Amino acid sequence: MLKSKKSKMLALLVTLAVAGSVFAGCGSKSTSGTASGKKVIKVNIGADPKTIDPGLNNSVEGAKVICNAFEGLTNLDKDDKPIPGVAEKWEISKDGLTYTFHLRKDAKWSDGKPVTAKDFEYAWKRAADPNTASEYAYQIYYVKNAENYNKKKATADEVGVKATDDQTLVVTLEGPTLYFLSLTAFPTYAPVRKDIVEKNPKDWANKAETYISNGPFVMKEYKPKDSLNFEKNPNYWNAKEVKLDRIEFKTLENESSYFAAFKSGQLDMLDKPPAQETPNLLKDGTAVAYPYLGTYYYNLNVSPNAENVNAEAAKVLKDVRVRKALTYAIDRTALVEKVTKSGEKPATSFVPSAASDSNGGKFKNKEYYPATADVAQAKKLLAEAGYPDGQGFPKLEILYNTMQGHQNVAQAVQDMWKKNLGIDVQLRNVERKVHLTELNKRNYQIARDGWIADYNDPMTFIDQFTTGNEQNHPGYANAEFDKLIKAAKAEADATKRVALMHQAEDTIMNDMPFIPLYEYTEVVCMNKKLKNVHVSPLGFFYFRDADLEK
């Protein structure tokens, strides 16, 4: 017992030393706060973003930076409803297909140049351009001919977004889209400057001098694997209402390190505290659990590339009976109660239970499998696939990005599959940038993933799995599923649209190219002096209205 305590004390000292080294340039006391007369905060985003280019980003950590550096046609208020952003007003045609946005004349870029409608037209067409290779290109597909342009069936001039003058943007949609105004607040729809991007297309977003933005904060320093430092943008049209002077976005991935930094006052805000600490943090008010519209899941590589990664694994994972056996063998209730411990809900579908439908109500999810393991059904399916009690089954690998929480989940699933199915699984962890690259290349067998809603509608969860979609990490392809998604997007009748989305989810959950594990909660630790931060259920932190009390 004495040896155990001694080891824990040594581990704590090492953790504190690591945390201290991360902020070594700050001195013995944090520079957060108002002592210097400046309102400075340090916020951990959990990883160094692969990119903070609005047209290329596909990660939550990148979006947390982008949504504070850029502003779209609309903003989201504290209730996540669209409000005027760069567009001060707009009109919508009776058929819901044409939006005319009127930009405010005082909107400026961080270098003082005016923000124009042409900046939005350029940014949207750039995201849809096949040469850009944006993983979020499909998000622009709501705009007429954007998908055809991305698939080289139309020209840029045929895409339904036109700047008729500097202050007027006319957008024509493929079909009525009830949540389109919310979409225009999403990072992919943010404006970017053509002269800036095309002068240095690969690196413009990596340097403070070229990261020209139009939001409340502007980049001052980018220190890879350390921090992205922003200051109040004096050219922002509503700068007089921005109260913070500086935000330092820290990129610590190790939970023990960033939690120690928070406890010592070197961080003002973080999410995902260590699982073992979370119950007490929530109980004493140090942490708050915010609504979070997202699903944590494992991808199963069913793409043609799976053969190149591991032929044996590809063979077994192509069998839907195997994929379902793996799903039924997981006890999700035990996972959230004994492993994650942050108020998560077992996921028995892919679309989260909190998702709204087109009629303003809940989507009314189905339970495609029980929250607890159905070991008998799992064993039956595996035996039918030719592997009774796991005999002859090849060793699989789970890929996950560095973070203790992901490791804990992977180890728990590894144990469940061994105990319930008799199969062996090895684990491989990599840093976040490598993880994203491996997902994009489909260079894995089984891989951790998570999807946070881009807007509150089931479509944001299911349309990513259409054939050829860059976000379709399992490499899933089903023509009937594609047809249902296309029909739902074109359906103006809300009730019929919901029915089509349910059919689409039925189809993909029957094919099971992924294994949903749980519905997220957003557990956030925050300096009690930090006020009016908007913690969005879409996974973003908005500091536009935030303040730091003296």
Q: Coil, strand, or helix at residue 531?
A: strand
* Amino acid 32: pLDDT: 62
Assess whether pLDDT exceeds 50 at residue 290: yes
* Amino acid 491: pLDDT: 87
Assess whether pLDDT exceeds 70 at residue 11: no
* Amino acid 27: pLDDT: 34
- Give me the mean pLDDT over the 464-469 stretch: 95
Nearest CA to 469 out of 451, 445, 446 is that of 451
* Amino acid 46: pLDDT: 94
* Amino acid 178: pLDDT: 85
Assess whether pLDDT exceeds 60 at residue 278: yes
Question: In angstroms, rounded to a whole number, what is the distance separating the alpha carbons of residues 216 and 13?
Answer: 38
Interval 341-393: pLDDT, tens: 988 999 999 999 988 876 667 888 899 999 999 999 999 999 999 999 999 99
Interval 14-62: pLDDT, tens: 444 444 444 543 333 445 665 568 999 999 999 999 999 999 999 999 9
Assess whether pLDDT exceeds 70 at residue 171: yes
Do residues 247 and 268 lie in contact, with contact meaning Cβ atoms separated by under 8 Å?
Answer: no
> Residue 32 class from Cβ within 10 Å (0-12 exposed, 13-18 middle, 19+ buried)?
buried
* Amino acid 41: pLDDT: 98
* Mean pLDDT estimate for the chain: 92
* Amino acid 362: pLDDT: 80
Residue 276, token pair as written in the block: 């073992």
Assess whether pLDDT exceeds 60 at residue 173: yes
- Give me the mean pLDDT over the 258-275 stretch: 96
Report all structural domains of the chain as residue ranges with CATH numbers, in order of start.
39-70+203-287+537-550 (3.40.190.10), 294-520 (3.10.105.10)
Over its C-alpha atoms, the chain yields an Rg (Å, rounded) of 24
- DSSP character for 338? I
* Amino acid 456: pLDDT: 85
Counting runs of H as helices and runs of E as strands, what totals does the chain give? 18, 23
Assess whether pLDDT exceeds 80 at residue 223: yes
* Amino acid 356: pLDDT: 84
* Amino acid 33: pLDDT: 67
pTM: 0.84
**In sequence order, what are the beta bridge partners of 230?**
219, 247
